[in-house]
Structure 1
Amino acid sequence: MKRALAAGLALVVAVGLAGCSGSSTGSNGSGKDGATVKVGVVGDNNEPWETAADSLKEKENIDVELVKFSDYVQPNQALSDGSVDLNSFQTEIYLDTYNSEHGTDLTSIGYTIIEPMGLYSHRVSSVGDLADGATVTIPNDVSNGGRALKLLEKAGLITVNPDAGLTPGLDDVTGNPKNLRITQLDAAQTARSLDDSDAAVVNSGIAVDAGLTPSTDAIFIEETGEASRPYYNVIAARASDVDDETYRTVVRYYQSDEVARTIADSTRGSQIAVWDGAPSASPSATASQSKAA
C-alpha cells in the first residue's frame, strides 16, 4: 500500500509539473517558434504582407496566414470572435467608430500605411467638369463617409458644418453649389459605381483592386500630413493580446525598410508607410492633387 501511495503521489506531482512547464505562448495557442498567425485583410493586393510573411517564416519560423475578406465589417467580426488573430485593413478612426458602435475592445498595436482617398470619374477628367446635378457616390459608414465629405469639401464642391468634426454626415452639408446628388454605398461597392455615376469617392485599397492607380487616376486626391493621423491604417488585435510576444514580432517585421520599399513599389506611390522611422513617414505637404479644377 505504501508503494502504491508513493506511486500515486509521484504521478500527481509529474502531472502538476507538466502543467506548469512549457514556453510562453501567444493567444493563438503557439509559442513564438512555429506559431501560425492569421491576419485578416481586405482585397487581393497584399504584397507588403507577403514580404513580411516571407521574412517572418525565414527568420522567426512564424507562419502568417492571410485571411481575405471582401468588406470592412467581416474582419473585425472575425477578430472579435477569434477566427483571426490580427487584422490589417482599417484606419484608426474606423476602428474607434467600430468599437463604439459594437461594444468591442479591438486595439491598435501598430501603424502601417496611409491610403489617400480619391475622387474618381469615368466621365470627366477634372473636378471643374462635373456638371450641375452630377451624381457622386461615397462610402456609407460613418468614418469613411465623413472622410469622403471632407474630401469633397477640400475639392471645393461642397461645404460641411465644422462642428461635425471628422465624421460629418449628409445632414451636415451646408453648401452644395453644383447641387450634387450624393448617394451612399458600401465602401466596397464605390469603385463599381463609376459606371453608373458621374464620380465616386473611393478608398485607395478598393481603387487599386479595381485596377485604378490613385496617384494618377484620381481627379482629386486627399492631401497627407500630420493632420492625417486619424486616417493612418493600423494592425489591430484584441485588447487581451496587445502584449503578445508573437504578435509584436509580426508588427516589428511589417514595420521594416523592406516592407516600406514593397509598399512604394507595389502601389506606385499610392500608399505611404507611416510608422515611426519608416522611409516615407513624412508625407509631402503638397500631396493633394487636383486635375485642373
Structure 2
Amino acid sequence: MRNTTKTVTVALTAGALALGLSACGTENGASKDGPLIVAASPVPHAEILTYVKDHLAEKNGLELEVKEFTDYNTPNLSTQDGSVGANYFQNQPFLDDFNKKKGTDIVPVVTVHLEPLGLYSAGAKKVGDIKKGATVAIPNDTVNEARALKLLDANKIIELKDGVGTEATPKDIAANPKGLKFKELEAAQLTRALGDVDAAVINGNFAIAAGLKPAKDALVLESPDKNPYGNFLAVKKGNEGDPRVKKLAKLLTSPEVKKFIKDKYAGSVLPSF
C-alpha cells in the first residue's frame, strides 16, 4: 500500500513557510534519524520516488516519505528550512536562478531524467498549421521561458538574437515570420490554457499529468542531445553526505529505475544515467 503524502500548495510566501514549517523542519525533514522526506512534483518525480519506495527502499535499508507539491517554489524553500530533507523536481539552470534570487544554497546530488519540453496545440496537427498572428503560451519563469523560446528557435519557428542565454524573453526575438504573439503564464497553468490559445510550450511533467503524451502529441519536442535540463535529486548544501541521501541517489540511478522510466513513460521521460 502506498504511504505517499500529497500536499496541494497555494501561493505561500517564504515568510509564511519560515513561520509555519521551520519549527518542525529539523525534526521531521532534515533529521538523519527519521525517514528521508523528499519534496517532488507529482509527475513523474513523485511516481518515480514512489516506485523506489514500494519496490527498492525497504530492502536497501531506506525509509522514504514522498511529499508532493504542485508549484516550483515551495520544494526548494522547504529544503532550505529543513521541512524536507531533499527535493526532486528541477534542473540546473532553474536551480541556479532560484538560488541567486532567493539566497538559498540548494545543490544537486544526482541527475535522474529529462522531461523534453514540447509545443502543443489543440487545433494544429503540425507546425505549418499554426496561423500567422497566432497566440502561443509559454512559461513565465525565467529559465523555462528562455527554454521555450530556444525550442521554437531550434525548430525555425522564430529566430533569437545571437548569444541569447538562459534569460531570453520575447524581447530577444530577432525574427518572427508568423508574427506570433506570446502569452506568459505560470508553467502549471499551461495545459489548462491550451484550449484558449493557438499553441503552448509545456513542461514535460505538466504535459504528462494532463494526459498528453509528449513523444506522440508534441508538434516539436526538445532533443535530449547535450541537454542541460536534466532533473535531479537536490539537498541543502552540507547534506550531500547524509547516508539516506546517498542510498536514494544510488537507487534513483539503478537499472530497476531506468527500466521503470522507459516502460512507464515510453519516450516522454528519458533516463539521464
Report the TM range for the smaller structure's normalisation.
0.7 to 0.9
Residue 272 of structure 2 corresponds to: 274
Greater mean deviation of Cα atoms: 211-220 or 240-249: 240-249
* Rounded Cα–Cα distance in structure 2 between residues aligned with 1:27 and 1:77: 12
Residue 40 of structure 2 corresponds to: 41
Q: Judge conservation of contact 1:79–1:86 (CA < 8 Å) in 2.
A: yes
Deviation at 1:82, TM superposition (A): 1.2
* Rounded Cα–Cα distance in structure 2 between residues aligned with 1:161 and 1:234: 30
Q: Does 1:69 align with 2:65?
A: no
Amino acid at match of 1:249: K
2:132 partner SS: coil
* Rounded Cα–Cα distance in structure 1 between residues aligned with 2:57 and 2:238: 25
Deviation at 1:49, TM superposition (A): 1.3
The aligned runs of 1:1-293 (5 Å cut-off) are 28-31=30-33, 35-45=34-44, 46-226=46-226, 228=227, 230-275=228-273
* Rounded Cα–Cα distance in structure 1 between residues aligned with 2:165 and 2:80: 28
1:66 partner SS: strand
Q: Judge conservation of contact 1:158–1:173 (CA < 8 Å) in 2.
A: yes
Q: Judge conservation of contact 2:29–2:82 (CA < 8 Å) in 1.
A: no
Amino acid at match of 1:120: Y
Q: Deviations over 1:148-194 (max 9, x none)?
A: 00011112111111222233112111111111011110010111110
Amino acid at match of 2:32: S
Q: Judge conservation of contact 1:47–1:263 (CA < 8 Å) in 2.
A: no
Q: Judge conservation of contact 2:62–2:247 (CA < 8 Å) in 1.
A: no
Q: Judge conservation of contact 1:150–1:166 (CA < 8 Å) in 2.
A: no
Amino acid at match of 1:163: G
Aligned sequence identity (%): 36
Q: Deviations over 1:194-236 (max 9, x none)?
A: 010000000000000000000000011111112x0x2111111
Cα distance change, pair 57–50 in 1 and its aligned pair in 2 (3 A): same
* Rounded Cα–Cα distance in structure 1 between residues aligned with 2:224 and 2:56: 30
Residue 9 of structure 1 corresponds to: none
Q: Once superposed, what is the RMSD of the aligned Cα atoms?
A: 1.6
Q: Deviations over 1:265-291 (max 9, x none)?
A: 11122111112xxxxxxxxxxxxxxxx
Q: Give ranges in structure 1 of 5+ residues lacking alignment.
A: 1-25, 276-293
* Rounded Cα–Cα distance in structure 2 between residues aligned with 1:47 and 1:188: 18
Deviation at 1:44, TM superposition (A): 4.7
TM-score, with normalisation over the residues of structure 2?
0.86
2:83 partner SS: coil
Based on CA coordinates, which of the two structures has the bigger radius of gyration? Answer: 1
* Rounded Cα–Cα distance in structure 2 between residues aligned with 1:84 and 1:29: 9
Deviation at 1:56, TM superposition (A): 4.4
Q: Judge conservation of contact 2:29–2:36 (CA < 8 Å) in 1.
A: no
Amino acid at match of 1:29: S
Flag as ranges the 4+ runs of structure 1 deviating above 4 A: none
Amino acid at match of 1:87: N
* Rounded Cα–Cα distance in structure 2 between residues aligned with 1:270 and 1:138: 19
Q: Judge conservation of contact 1:56–1:63 (CA < 8 Å) in 2.
A: no
* Rounded Cα–Cα distance in structure 1 between residues aligned with 2:245 and 2:254: 15
Aligned residues: 245
* Rounded Cα–Cα distance in structure 2 between residues aligned with 1:182 and 1:118: 15
